[in-house]
Structure 1
Amino acid sequence: MYWQTLVASSLLATGVQAGIGSLVMDGMTRNSPSVERRMEEIAKASLRSRGYLEARQTIQEATTGPASNVLLNQDGTINMTAWDQQANDACSIALSHLPEASNPSGTCVCYNLPALDNVTGTFEADLRLYQLSAPSGQFSGIPPQNIQVGLSYKGASVVVSAAVAPRQDDPSSVNANLKLLQTYLFVGQIDRTQMTGPLTMAQLEALVMPVVTLTAVNTLGQTVSTNVSSNEAAFVAGVFSQSIIMSDFNQALLAVQEELAGLRNGTVAFVLPGVQIMVFPIGLVITSVWLAIGVAAYGMGTIQRIAFREQYQRAVQRESKRAVAYGRI
């Protein structure tokens, strides 16, 4: 009887352990859509409650012409004098924090869109080339007026509509070392293949953000070129200048910073990790099954030890009685 019970309990424990092992391995080798969806909903709800995450909106509510902060003439065209002053002031402020240029040409650019039509995909672009520091390397000795500017887009194409001569130095400029070399006006068109569906502002901004390349011929007759970062001052005036476009990573980073600030000032209670079952119901099921296995194993062992003790006591009593009977004989 003892061995039958022991074998049965061993087989039961082995079967349950195999089932749990396969369940755990299944969870490690393939993703659970329900769990991932629930965790994603929890994360989004946490971000949305703090104002860091909003539903994605398409550009149908965006501008279909000149930006709202661009001054227009009475006939609806852009007031280029006012735009030139607005763009130059915004670019000077945005580039004032740069100690020197990030490329050997010693120049930096400021890129803005005075107008954008999100229905047809046409846009007007303004590119300003500034001299920030002295040329170095391959661009040493090359006059700024001999530098050619080229633009390449990921999902658009442009043509030069005008090249405005630089103005005289403005004594009220934020950075005295910043000198406007040339202003380029472009008319562009977003590729039709990119306009098949509604686009978010971030997607549209990526389509109209160019890669700026400067090309020149040095004193040795060699053609040299370099790329200029357009992120140093982009969309500081006109379209997108009043919009804040954040990536999912930056939104999550702001949420983490908010939680840390709440922990420091005591507005958010600290939760000790490891004391809560965050994955429900899989975590609860696995924990409960292992608890049941442990209780069953310890309980079965205790019962078997009690039965063995009673059996031993009965055997001792029988031997004692037998010894007494032999003694009397």
Structure 2
Amino acid sequence: MIRERHIPVLGPQAVGFLEPKPGGIYVDGTFGAGGYTRLILQTEDTKVIAIDRDRSAIAGGFELVEQAGGRLTLVEDRFSNLAAVCAAQGAIPIDGVVMDIGVSSMQVDEAARGFSFRLDGPLDMRMGGEGPSAADVVATASEADLANIIYIFGEERYSRHIARAIVAARGEAPITTTKALADIVGKVVRHKPGEIHPATRTFQALRIFVNAELDELYEALNAAEQVLGPGGRLAVVTFHSLEDRIVKNFLNDRGRTGGGSRHLPEVAQAAPSFELLTKRPVTADAAEVAANPRARSAKLRAAQRTAAPAHRPEALPHWPTLASVMGAAR
């Protein structure tokens, strides 16, 4: 019996779209606290391959592995590598993929991880612990690169002012804690009572940048398309407009059935590899938002794989990367 503990945002709805079937094999691309996995395993004889790049999340899932009695495999890896993970498990094709994009509540609630401006801790933000930290980026990136990062990944209209303030502040003393950075941003961004914390978008931008989250999402969507069998389901929960736009555009592109008009010839294109199950995103109801304020911004999109071959993988957009920014800083 799989005991239900953590219920992820839009969890029942997302797993509902997967329609788990006895004997089916499913991928939880963002294991976290195991909420989606638990819901899937409630269907008899299902098997789950759960992936997380955060070693602490994998360690926290060992109890669930024991409860699942051989039906759960935990893999420490990036969810962009889910095709390779499934191949290594001999599990292609699979019946469903679920992904919850972004930082988990466990990561935010642990001050030492440096994700939260509400809890003072080291300015880290790395999900997997490897590579440059947010403090490294803040310490070495140029003012122009900082402004681009905060504007592109945080959609922050005061990005240039924030970047200028960061460069000025680091000239006085290193910015090594979440509180120090939040205080700097708070002096620049106008804020009214009831609005989001002035540092919200800057912290979001640095987290996405440090972990290459949007690149990861692009690659994970392409990987899911490759491993899902005909009739397999994909369900993705996002928490801000950048992520949702990527998922929406990917599924719309893969679900497109025709082109052209009576004035222009039909454009040759690959057969649709997905059939949309959500024409509009599913959002949390008032009860879920009241129980978990994080659900307020959540959007769920789902689609079903057709029998058509996978399309050519999406090319990644040209935006700042850790390699380009940190390389230029050296």
- Give the structure-2-normalised TM-score: 0.21
Higher strand proportion:
1
Greater Rg, structure 1 or structure 2?
1
